[in-house]
Amino acid sequence: MTSLTERVREFAYGIGFDLVGFSSADPSPEHEQALQAWITAGYAGEMAYMARDPSRRANPKQILPQAKTIICLAINYYPGVHPKKDGRSGRISCYAWGRDYHRVLEERLDRLEEYLRKEADRPLKIKRYVDYGPILERAYANRAGLGFIGKNTMLITEEFGSWVFLAELITDLELEVDHSPTLGNGPASQCGSCSLCIDACPTGAIVAPFKLDARRCISYLTIEKKGEIPADLQPEMEDWIFGCDVCQQVCPFNQQTPIAKAQDFTTGAGPWLDIEEILAMDEVRFKARFRDTPLLRPKYRGLQRNVMIVAKKGSG
């Protein structure tokens, strides 16, 4: 008979996940130490939530004391090569071209959780996250064999490079864990001497291999940063008004990624926004235009701020 672990894996593939792996829920002290060092260095910027109880992020048993297994999931979101812009436009990171990925993945997690509860021979305790919970997603995805951590600090998978969204389902159900000796558990297992992402970063945010200073990262500046963006970084933002893909675009592992199967990630706000349209928007139109997309994250003022920077540079 097929094991429960394999049935769960096949079901997850069947509902649209592209990668599925199983990790133990044991703590990850080496990643906790790395996170603490990153916070201490000030690299988290204004993301105060990252500094709240780092030990919890590296120990799922502090989230769910009975936790035994983490089902680590990934889905390809790659929408294709950024097309050439038409007119005065601001560039959007690939992950935000379509629907809000949280909702897309949560819909699939609903079905996976329902399946688990149906297949188990007892009531289950489950916690699930899509990029918003206190768990080191990339660390556990690495442990589950989904990929390795690249020098740009992103999880890089064999099939889809780093163009993936991650999700986790933590449960007290004990499943067979995956081991991947070819990918390894160390962050440097595949990058070798390559430094393309470090060299290409417009703002020098990758300050060393596997170390990202979020305070300089265009994604952080255009989405997470409140208030004004430092004047010395504005000229380096190029035409990005929401996120940045440069370190992914140059990565050798990202050159053969197939287009995402889920149309949710390819239709929506799109790759470019017209600068004049955004500047003419009021807050009501902003919320209506970008409803159910990631572009609501920086709020009306944040997106207006980003667009004005690009408009002033005359490169939009």
Q: pLDDT-based confidence at 251, cuts 50/70/90?
A: very high
Residue 274 domain flag: yes
Shared domain check, 135 and 40: yes
Domain count along the chain: 2
Catalytic residue among 131, 172, 213, 245: 131
Whole-Å CA distances, 171 to 25, 104, 124, 129, 256: 9, 21, 7, 12, 34
Shared domain check, 147 and 13: yes
User: At a CB cut-off of 8 Å and minimum separation 6, what does 234 contact?
Assistant: 309, 313
Residue 201 domain flag: yes
Whether 315 shows a pLDDT value over 60: the answer reads no
Q: Are the C-beta atoms of 185 and 142 separated by less than 8 Å?
A: yes
Shared domain check, 124 and 271: no
Token pair, residue 206, equals 């990758």
* Number of Cβ within a 10 Å radius of residue 135: 24
**Is 131 in the active site?**
yes
Whether 152 shows a pLDDT value over 60: the answer reads yes
Shared domain check, 200 and 149: no
Weakest mean pLDDT among 17-26, 108-117, 177-186, 202-211: 177-186
Token pair, residue 169, equals 């389902």
* Residue ranges making up the domain that contains 271: 196-260+267-313
Question: What is the identity of the amino acid at 66?
Answer: Q
Shared domain check, 216 and 152: no
Q: pLDDT-based confidence at 261, cuts 50/70/90?
A: very high
Please state, in angstroms and rounded to a whole number, the distance separating the CA atoms of residues 140 and 67.
14
pLDDT for position 182: 42
Shared domain check, 147 and 47: yes
Shared domain check, 9 and 71: yes
Q: What is the pLDDT of residues 115-138, one digit of tens each?
A: 999 999 899 999 999 988 889 999
Q: Which helix (H) or strand (E) holds 197?
A: helix 196-200
Whether 316 shows a pLDDT value over 70: the answer reads no
- Helix count and strand count (H, E) for the chain: 11, 11
Helix or strand or coil: residue 214? helix
Place of tokens 């990262």: 217
Residue 89 domain flag: no
Please state, in angstroms and rounded to a whole number, the distance separating the CA atoms of residues 239 and 82.
13
Whether 184 shows a pLDDT value over 80: the answer reads no
pLDDT for position 226: 95
How large a percentage of the chain has pLDDT more than 70? 96
Whether 154 shows a pLDDT value over 70: the answer reads yes
Please state, in angstroms and rounded to a whole number, the distance separating the CA atoms of residues 163 and 156.
8
Shared domain check, 250 and 203: yes
Q: pLDDT-based confidence at 204, cuts 50/70/90?
A: very high
Q: What are phi and psi of 152, to 5 degrees?
A: -85, 10
* Number of Cβ within a 10 Å radius of residue 103: 12
Weakest mean pLDDT among 79-88, 270-279, 302-311: 79-88
Helix or strand or coil: residue 237? helix
Shared domain check, 66 and 21: yes
Weakest mean pLDDT among 127-136, 153-162, 220-229: 127-136
pLDDT for position 84: 86
pTM, whole model, 2 decimals?
0.93
How large a percentage of the chain has pLDDT more than 90? 84
